[in-house]
Structure 1
């Protein structure tokens, strides 16, 4: 039994060895199992057969090109005389394989790439390549740079668009490489297309965002009593512009417009007001020079400085002129009220009547009517001499409130009030009894509002009315 077993084993081993050596001898001139060259199966083929097959395949060669859009285009080898040219790779691949390792090739793939080349008509290839729709004007889409868009009080980074504007030389190089390697397919990479110059990750976009964020952090809250005015981030964004080189700047015209709107909204200079009189009724009076005036030039300069600061700011507007009170009623409850029609005046302090008196105002018949509007006591002067055309009048107490018009004592008069002013009035000043003038002079402060009005329509054409911005001023030509 032992001999039989030994003989059987010897026979089996001999057969296996013969098979092994037989295959080894075979694969010394043939490709191993699972051999692929350029993705084509060549197991059991000789180098000569591989060369013949490669040459045969080249006659019907077709290169399929897939572009960025996912569309496919074909180049046919015969159209440009494509022919495979071997440099001996088939033989070299066979020599590189170890025939005695053929059992391993049963389980392990052998993949190779030919380093051969090809020959073709360059001019014909160029003509066929350029004829592909990839290069058609209707098909091409130019790339678009990433950019920042400001809209509705916020900004967004608009991502770049790659487009599909082909670079001919790059595609030609890729195609030639595919032809040399007999590749059946070619997918065009990003290097084959013009790229956007600016992407959302570019420093240009980063710098723009930093600049925008800095400006929009420079909010300005205006401290205005009775109002809520804020230049917030959304409004600031609308004042910014981005140039082609990516620099962010403040649009000067838009800042000017904003300051103008600010002034128009909060200036009370010369604005028509509703005023409740001492007689109990309410009148509408405008004109004069009393009120708040935003200095547009200085406010603009300060605002530009604030925006460059990059920090929130709380402040008052830069005023050219101020009044005693802020808000809709900037006259307050300390003021002098002058009713030209009734020829009577009142002085209130903190809402309480302090004194009142009749007076004589400017002569309407001689076009010297006193100015109406809302004014303020400009200064107080003792022992002044009032000089005008054809007169010189010394007074003890002078309180001007409009141009050269003021309240003063008139010792030369015995009677005040009534309708004296219509035909025998002053040159424009408010004549009051000496005792009242002294009392008012000692009580009233510089800057006290003066509300002067007529109850009937009058036409003031004199220079004092013009210079004082009188409510009832009409240019002489227009009056005629």
Structure 2
């Protein structure tokens, strides 16, 4: 419920007879009751002669109850009317009528044509905001208004250039501003609201000759001649301008608008084709066997980040060559993504091979996880997390210091095992580790010297043990 205070000037000629009847041509002191207004008393334009303060209050409020209307006139001269009963409109006297009566009594209750007994008191107008909004939305010049449109750029049309669409100045109203203006008129008790004198009409903000809009249109047309080239090692994927133009949705004050969904779909196709992370990998073992390993290793495009980067590249409007933004990277884009430098862990034969640039520089036996206790070291293709010296390995029932520690699969890693006197063979079956690869100390030192963070570690052969 909204309310406001206002003062209304003398206007109701029909009510003059109410207090002029019987008045003489001179002032005189009334001897009537002191709890009633003297002859000729007018409050807010309404005669209240002979009324008590309470009666006058009720009379003034009832005058506006069920009869008040506000005419709203648009700038084209069309007029609509808001009725008080449609919006729950009412008027309450908030001024002090008793003070006026007391002033008349203190002044000797003088009346007559030569005495000015006209007064103004504050009143409060109240109405239902929700009902008012509903009524405003019914107005013909709100419902049937012509929409104001800024100048814009045409959407993509096959084989056609982007063009500027001229602005349209309509006669539609900003409903929020209209509601505020009407509310002000209601609270003031106005009879007419001229919309031409308000800021309620929507206006064009961008014209066809706007330099920024012209520049954006030119930039969109240049997109037809641009391309984005993605590089995947020796392979390229080219996003042509003819396809880019299909993604353009126009422009705003920030620049060219690119359909994010289409850009994301394109990046997804690249990921589907070129991602290798978590995928099965063919691997030729040091023993010459062809095996397949799968694990958390490989190339993986960061699709969200790359979609945003692609959109920005398109907005720049220039030819560009780029690699995608990756969430995970691998050693190589040519041939096998794990490259030619890696650690091979042959679980079946209990041998580790260290390869650098395709050459085996170390071949050493080891002891893997204890099969009899269910601690078999799993197959997989992994990144080496890091390497560290002088590490204490701890578990539920052990605490073992090692000189070299190189983890790659959770708590599983490569490390020296100076407590063992022999390695290889079938030791792992009943006297193996908790899952780690136990290496001879000298071999562990060599491995430690050559490995590095994210180096591929390839484990295979567990299914055969």
* TM-score, L = length of structure 1: 0.50
Equivalence for 1:292: 299
**Which residue, 403, 425, 444 being the options, matches 1:418?**
425
Q: Which runs of 5+ in 1 are unaligned?
A: 1-145, 161-201, 459-480
Q: Deviations over 1:422-468 (max 9, x none)?
A: 3332111111111111122123333322111126368xxxxxxxxxx
What CA RMSD, in Å, does the superposition of the two structures yield over aligned residues? Answer: 3.3
Q: Deviations over 1:65-97 (max 9, x none)?
A: xxxxxxxxxxxxxxxxxxxxxxxxxxxxxxxxx
1:276 deviates by 0.9
Equivalences, count:
269
Equivalence for 2:236: 228
Q: Aligned equivalents of 1:402 and 1:218: distance in 2? A: 45
Equivalence for 2:440: 433
> What SS class does the counterpart of residue 394 from structure 1 fall into?
strand
Question: Contact between 2:384 and 2:457, CA under 8 Å: does it hold in 1?
Answer: yes
Equivalence for 2:87: none
Question: Contact between 2:348 and 2:464, CA under 8 Å: does it hold in 1?
Answer: no
Provide closer, same or farther for how the CA distance between residues 297 and 420 of structure 1 changes in structure 2, counting only shifts above 3 A: same
- 1:321 equivalent in alignment to 2:328: yes
Provide closer, same or farther for how the CA distance between residues 363 and 213 of structure 1 changes in structure 2, counting only shifts above 3 A: farther
Question: Contact between 2:154 and 2:250, CA under 8 Å: does it hold in 1?
Answer: no
Equivalence for 1:332: 339
Equivalence for 1:270: 278
Provide closer, same or farther for how the CA distance between residues 248 and 438 of structure 1 changes in structure 2, counting only shifts above 3 A: closer
Tell which structure's C-alpha radius of gyration is larger: 1
Q: Deviations over 1:313-361 (max 9, x none)?
A: 1121112232222234122211111111111111111222111111111
- 1:358 equivalent in alignment to 2:362: no
Provide closer, same or farther for how the CA distance between residues 239 and 327 of structure 1 changes in structure 2, counting only shifts above 3 A: farther
1:384 deviates by 0.4
Question: Contact between 2:353 and 2:360, CA under 8 Å: does it hold in 1?
Answer: yes
User: Which runs of structure 2 are paired with 1:243-262 in the superposition (5 Å)?
Assistant: 249-262=257-270
Question: Contact between 1:363 and 1:423, CA under 8 Å: does it hold in 2?
Answer: yes
- 1:368 equivalent in alignment to 2:372: no
Q: Deviations over 1:400-437 (max 9, x none)?
A: 12222110011222222223323332111111111111
Q: Which is richer in helix? A: 1
> What SS class does the counterpart of residue 232 from structure 2 fall into?
coil
User: Which runs of structure 2 are paired with 1:18-33 in the superposition (5 Å)?
Assistant: none
Q: Aligned equivalents of 1:316 and 1:157: distance in 2? A: 30
Q: Which runs of 5+ in 2 are unaligned?
A: 1-152, 166-207
Question: Contact between 2:219 and 2:317, CA under 8 Å: does it hold in 1?
Answer: no
* TM-score, L = length of structure 2: 0.52
Q: Aligned equivalents of 1:239 and 1:364: distance in 2? A: 57
User: Which runs of structure 2 are paired with 1:371-386 in the superposition (5 Å)?
Assistant: 371-386=378-393
1:155 deviates by 4.7
Equivalence for 2:81: none
Provide closer, same or farther for how the CA distance between residues 304 and 157 of structure 1 changes in structure 2, counting only shifts above 3 A: closer
Q: Aligned equivalents of 2:259 and 2:424: distance in 1? A: 58
Q: Deviations over 1:100-145 (max 9, x none)?
A: xxxxxxxxxxxxxxxxxxxxxxxxxxxxxxxxxxxxxxxxxxxxxx
1:257 deviates by 1.6
1:233 deviates by 1.2
Q: Aligned equivalents of 2:348 and 2:332: distance in 1? A: 28
> What SS class does the counterpart of residue 364 from structure 2 fall into?
strand
